[in-house]
Amino acid sequence: MASDAPVSPEAVPPVLEDRRPGPGRLAGFILLFLAVASGLAAFSAFPWAATPPGVALLKVAFKRVSAPAETGAALSREELEKLPRHMRPQGGQSGTSGTRRDTIVRVTLDGRPILERTYRPTGLRHDGPTFVYEELSVPLGRHVLEGALVEAGGARAKGDATSSPERRIVAAVEVESGQVLLLELSSQQELALRWGGQLRATGDR
């Protein structure tokens, strides 16, 4: 004989929610996948070019650490004693300001200036390395490229034997469409010119 007693809610097994995506969601995912695949195929058919057609590019890129900037006046004995021992200038030398010299870069093409800029060292006190990066358009054909790097206040013309000498490079280049030339510093801290993945010219001091 069946019992008419009410059934407790805890006795009824829970109904699990169906988490399978419906047909509409599957169709949307497939359409999205096809759209992304079509976009990638279109981009691969038209590859990105590093330089526009009919022109070439000169990149000036390097990192260097310049010499400490001098205060221009000799420190007194009291001022020297306040400095840490490793920062005290040697006898006869003027004191340093705690910053480093600016770097000046000049580039000319067939005698015409295309870059002349001063770069400051990084850091709050300007005592860190100096980063140089420029991209310059270069016309096609045969040219004479000249580059120079000098520290502000440190030119050899000042007659300071401790100053950093000017670095120079002169190179004849045959510029072709889409070519990328790189003006950098070599491991000997000399200006160097590369293109086509090869070192083509080095400068002097």
Residue 87 lies in a domain: no
pLDDT at position 89 is 60
Could you say which residues of the chain have pLDDT below 50?
A: 92, 155-163
Unique residue bearing structure tokens 């990084």: 122
Which domain range does residue 195 map to?
56-68+101-202
Residue 20 lies in a domain: no
Terminal C-alpha separation, the chain: 112
Unique residue bearing structure tokens 């003027």: 94
CB 154 within 8 A of CB 130: no
Q: What CATH number corresponds to the domain at position 132?
A: 2.60.40
CB 161 within 8 A of CB 92: no
Residue 94 lies in a domain: no
Residue 140 lies in a domain: yes
pLDDT at position 1 is 52
pTM of the model: 0.62
Distance CA 200, CA 194 (A): 5
pLDDT at position 157 is 40
Separation of CA 162 from chain center: 29
Distance CA 133, CA 185 (A): 12
Distance CA 139, CA 196 (A): 17
User: How many domains does the chain divide into?
Assistant: 1
pLDDT at position 204 is 76
pLDDT at position 27 is 77
Rg (CA), the chain: 33
Residue 160 lies in a domain: yes
CA torsion 119→124→125→126, rounded to 10°? -20
Residue 162 lies in a domain: yes
